[in-house]
Amino acid sequence: MRETHLPFSPPLIGQEEIDEVVDTLRSDWLTTGPKTKQFEQDFARFTQAPAALALNSCTAGLHTALVAHNIGPGDEVITTPLTFAASVNVIEHVGARPVLVDVEPDTLNIDPRQIARAITDRTKAILPVHFAGHPVDLDAINALAEENNLCVIEDAAHAPSAQYKGRMIGSGDNPTAFSFYATKNMTTGEGGMLTGSPEFLEQARVISLHGLSRDAWQRYDEKGSWKYDVVCPGFKYNMTDLQASLGIWQLRKLESFQQRRVQIVAAYQEAFAESLAFQLPAEREEVVHAWHLYVLRLLPNALPISRDEFIQEMKKRKIGVSVHFIPIHLHSYYRNKYGYRADDFPVAHDNYQQSFSLPLHPGMTDQDVADVIHAVREIVTQCRRKRGAAA
């Protein structure tokens, strides 16, 4: 057994990030300024996006995109129940109704066939989530949007570096929100990025900073002007140069981070491939998976313990695990407001009850990976011995 706890997903910060932050602290700009602009340009180049807007969270990106599309009271937005609450909360924030539809059994991404059945005259947008870093079926979703005059706003919190049919996630005109939270594939501590067309992001930029016609850098730079206008009641969603300082270097390291994630996933997949206790994560041929999460599903009746008991056994062995996610329709706010039952979305609900996520981050050593594999195998072996003894 390990002597120390293995964290589920800590950030990996190097001296380069530290030096960049110190450089910012010694400069004239701490808030949105030249390094934020550089980070936006670097990220747009990396994702092959038309343009990028740095924000203080992925949530801010989703909210800003909904506002920019004039989605509000009386409108409906179709999304997935198997996501973090932020994806759905933003729909509530603009006064629209979130319409949940079930997920695909293999990828756990929103099911385009279910989307098609849920479209009404009030539907204004589809908000798909690239669950765990596996891209959704964008061709099918975009086709539905085009047929029904809907916008698509992608939640790519898990999906920097992911690709769909040779195209980087975020490279199209769909507004696409990325997360740089501390547990994500790259981090700025807190922070996010919204990609999309330059014209759309010009509007989103105004919305994201109080509705001002000029940001602080434009007003307080030596060539700037103090004059500005408030053109809409916007929000305070801008990223700071301190955050961007981290992001500049994290982005430069993202390719190597991703390579390490793929190595760890390969070790997991090989180790558990023959196990009759688990369903392994899927990766379709047409995608490049970002592998933000490695989600194992404990098959029904495979072991004489529940998913929650399995997690407790992992914790006893000092392995940090988590669950992604408690479905939206099980949370009291959404359950009470919309009258959801647990079995309304059976694929999402059943897989939630079976799922747990193993540690997956580029700071893991080969020994860390081996410890995780050993712990999983040991629990399975012990459970089967107990079952055999009981029989």
Nearest of 288, 365, 12 to residue 134 by alpha carbon: 288
The one catalytic residue in 184, 223, 315, 318 is 184
Catalytic site residue 318? Answer: no
Q: Calculate ∠ Cα 165-85-72, nearest 5°.
A: 85
- Label residue 345 exposed, middle or buried (CB < 10 Å: 0-12, 13-18, 19+): buried
Q: Length of the chain, please?
A: 391
- Label residue 281 exposed, middle or buried (CB < 10 Å: 0-12, 13-18, 19+): buried
The rounded distance, in Å, linking the Cα atoms of 188 and 159 is: 15
Q: How far apart are the first and last CA of the chain?
A: 29
Within the chain, residue ranges assigned H as helices are 15-25, 34-47, 58-68, 86-93, 112-118, 138-148, 198-208, 216-220, 241-272, 307-316, 332-338, 346-354, 366-390
Nearest of 168, 78, 93 to residue 129 by alpha carbon: 78
The residues that are catalytic are 184
